[in-house]
Amino acid sequence: RHLATATIQRNPAFSTLNSDDINHFKGILGDKNVIEDEDTLLFANTDWMRKYKGSSKLLLQPRTTQEVSEVLKYCNSRRLAVVPQGGNTGLVGGSVPVFDEVIINVGSMKQVISFDKVSGVLVCEAGCILENLVCFLDNQGFIMPLDLGAKGSCQIGGNVSTNAGGLRLVRYGSLHGTVLGIEAVLANGDVLDMLGTLRKDNTGYDLKHLFIGSEGSLGIVTKVSILTPPKLSSVNLAFLACKDYSSCQKLLFEAKRRLGEILSAFEFLDNESLNLALNHLEGVRNPLPPAMHNFYVLIETTGSDESYDKEKLEAFLLRSMEDGLISDGVIAQDINQASSFWRIREGVPEALMKAGAVYKYDLSLPVETMYNLVEEMRTILGNSAKVIGYGHLGDGNLHLNISTPQYDDVILAQIEPFVYEWTSKQRGSISAEHGLGLMKANKIFYSKSHETVQLMASIKKLMDPNGILNPYKVLPYSIVSYS
Ligand code: FAD
Ligand code: MLT
Ligand code: ZN
């Protein structure tokens, strides 16, 4: 078990699974959707980072909202704790059990329910894999408003539950804006139909927002309605080198003004991140001639006029070179080259995993001071670790990662609470997009006031009085007390 969880005790109010329970679930779901197979459970008990590991003996795969409802109703009456799981690509230990919680995965609920070509509203089941939705929409001439490296495995229900950000947020905004409706099942089995498809609906509290980013702690998301943008004909991607962080920042400032409506991504990685990708990912090579640059920026534009967009980007890049903001750069000549550029940026998390142990922080910080944290961390850790910084610069989101050969308590004590205190002093967020999960449940006060957390705890108790939904996650365990 991860060191951070070693101190948590299993809530004694929860029941332990018995053979009657298993038979009951088989009655609801059929034998083959009640999984006790050890290999499948090993995967479902272990998170993507292989850092958090539960000991659940049961994985349930409901196929309909009604089945989710019956399962939860039973679990609630028996006080069996559950973990909603999607593609299990979460990075904060939220998607796997801490102890023996029953895992519920809606991956079999993967139908597109409707798509309206006029409004661009897609309604689908929560188990749809993001990449499958991308393919479906591509055929219709649309795109998903979110894109992330885990698209091949993550489910839209998981994306909504984590309020995933990703590479396109700078253009299309967060899921709080693009998700128009949700169907969710509460802990007691009640089904909340909030599956609206309207852009505007001011009839009372907009409760769907409670489920966006609540990491499976308030209900299981079963259906989602989402606004999708049209697929535009001209997409360009530039891979650029900058001599220092200040140039990256100025480039962002200029890109927002000069590329304006066509800017669709602004990502950065430092030289250490690039080296990790080059050293650990197969087939990845530096698109730029060998030279020492400290930072790299990917700028994507998406628009409707090929020659105008390209001219605009080229003029911007030329000017930025003349102004000394860019030291070198290349524009992808075709879709394959563009994918190879994205592979570098999207591959950094995978490269980190291959390099050894990773301490991963996902912070919202003022762009001006963001990179100081990486440098301060390097000074503190010296040669004992590699400190790397990359992320969604256009959104003010730094991914600070510390790579070491193996996990080490001494190193952890040098990183935490320093990183959280530093972020809090800047009034930043200790979770920009990955969530709190198990990793940061107890750290919430670095970013939220006591009053706010108390209200969150009251909402949690109201919606899940027995605390069966994803226990020990999101909120400090001491605040959500159960009996
Ligand atoms: P899981 O990992 O299975 O679950 C995540 C959380 O959501 C858990 O708390 C779980 O209980 C809950 N949950 C899952 N499904 C449901 C449901 N149907 N109902 C209720 N609760 C549910 N995140 C970003 O924000 N931006 C990125 O750019 C990004 N890039 C990534 C790149 C890689 C390579 C990896 C591995 C991860 C990345 N992530 C990113 C993190 C992660 O992929 C996303 O947070 C994703 O949205 C999780 O979806 P999932 O289906 O895998 O959910
Ligand atoms: C990313 O932007 O690559 C993801 O959020 C994953 C990560 O930070 O490691
Ligand atoms: Zn990210």
Mean pLDDT confidence for 260-269: 98
Closest CA to 423 of 453, 400, 439: 400
Contact 314, 244 (CB under 8 A): no
Q: Given this model, what pLDDT does residue 291 score?
A: 84
Ligand 1 proximity of 155 Cβ (cutoff 6 Å) = yes
Q: Given this model, what pLDDT does residue 11 score?
A: 95
Contacting residues for 5 by C-beta, under 8 A, at least 6 apart: 52, 93, 98, 438, 472
Q: Given this model, what pLDDT does residue 5 score?
A: 53
Instruction: Give the position, in ligand 1's atom list, of the atom nearest the Cα of 211.
Output: 20
User: Ligand 2, atom 3: nearest CA belongs to which residue?
Assistant: 346
Contact 461, 217 (CB under 8 A): no
Q: Given this model, what pLDDT does residue 231 score?
A: 98
- Say whether 374 sits in a helix, a strand or coil: helix
Expressed in angstroms and rounded, the spacing between residue 138 Cα and the centre of ligand 3 is 23
- DSSP secondary structure, 149-202, as one string: TTTTT-BHHHHHHHT---TTHHHH--HHHHEEEEEEE-TTS-EEEE----S---
Cα–Cα dist 81/264, whole Å: 41
In this prediction, residue 3 has a pLDDT band, given cuts at 50, 70 and 90, of: very low
Using CB atoms within 10 Å of the CB of residue 229, give its burial: 0 to 12 exposed, 13 to 18 middle, 19+ buried.
middle
Instruction: Give the position, in ligand 1's atom list, of the atom nearest the Cα of 222.
Output: 18
In this prediction, residue 384 has a pLDDT band, given cuts at 50, 70 and 90, of: very high
- pLDDT per residue over 29-80, tens digit each? 999 999 999 999 999 999 999 999 999 999 999 999 999 999 999 999 999 9
In this prediction, residue 292 has a pLDDT band, given cuts at 50, 70 and 90, of: confident
Contact 309, 303 (CB under 8 A): yes
User: Ligand 2, atom 6: nearest CA belongs to which residue?
Assistant: 349
Any bridge partners for residue 392, and if so which? 397
Burial 36-73 (b: 16+ CB within 10 A, else e): eeeeebeebbbbbbebbbbebbbbbbbbebebbbbbbb
Query: Above 50 in pLDDT, residue 113?
Result: yes
Q: Which residue has the tokens 């930072």?
A: 295
Q: Is 356-446 a CATH 3.30.70.2740 domain?
A: yes
- pLDDT per residue over 428-447, tens digit each? 999 999 999 999 999 999 99
- pLDDT per residue over 308-362, tens digit each? 999 999 999 999 999 999 999 999 999 999 999 999 999 999 999 999 999 999 9
Contact 450, 427 (CB under 8 A): no
- DSSP secondary structure, 8-67, as one string: PPP-TTS----HHHHHHHHHHH-GGGEE--HHHHHHHHB-TTS--B-----EE---SHHH
In this prediction, residue 482 has a pLDDT band, given cuts at 50, 70 and 90, of: low
Contacting residues for 34 by C-beta, under 8 A, at least 6 apart: 22, 25, 26, 58, 60, 61
**Percent of the chain's residues with pLDDT above 70:** 98
- pLDDT per residue over 362-374, tens digit each? 999 999 999 999 9
Query: Above 70 in pLDDT, residue 95?
Result: yes
Instruction: Give the position, in ligand 1's atom list, of the atom nearest the Cα of 166.
Output: 28
- In CATH terms, are 234-348 and 356-446 the same topology? yes
Domain boundaries, the chain: 3-106, 112-227, 234-348, 356-446
Mean pLDDT value across the chain: 97
Report, at the CATH architecture level, how domain 3-106 is classified: 2-Layer Sandwich (3.30)
Ligand 2 proximity of 467 Cβ (cutoff 6 Å) = no
Q: Name the token pair of 463.
A: 């919606």
- pLDDT per residue over 175-231, tens digit each? 999 999 999 999 999 999 999 999 999 999 999 999 999 999 999 999 999 999 999
Mean pLDDT confidence for 130-151: 98
Contact 85, 101 (CB under 8 A): no
**DSSP-assigned letter for residue 232:** P
Ligand 1 proximity of 97 Cβ (cutoff 6 Å) = no
C-alpha separations of 432 from 102, 148, 392, 428 in Å: 28, 14, 10, 9
Class of domain 112-227: alpha beta
Q: Given this model, what pLDDT does residue 478 score?
A: 84
Q: Given this model, what pLDDT does residue 1 score?
A: 41
Ligand 2 proximity of 86 Cβ (cutoff 6 Å) = no
Instruction: Give the position, in ligand 2's atom list, of the atom nearest the Cα of 362.
Output: 8
Q: Is 234-348 a CATH 3.30.70.2190 domain?
A: yes
Query: Above 70 in pLDDT, residue 6?
Result: no
Expressed in angstroms and rounded, the spacing between residue 362 Cα and the centre of ligand 2 is 8
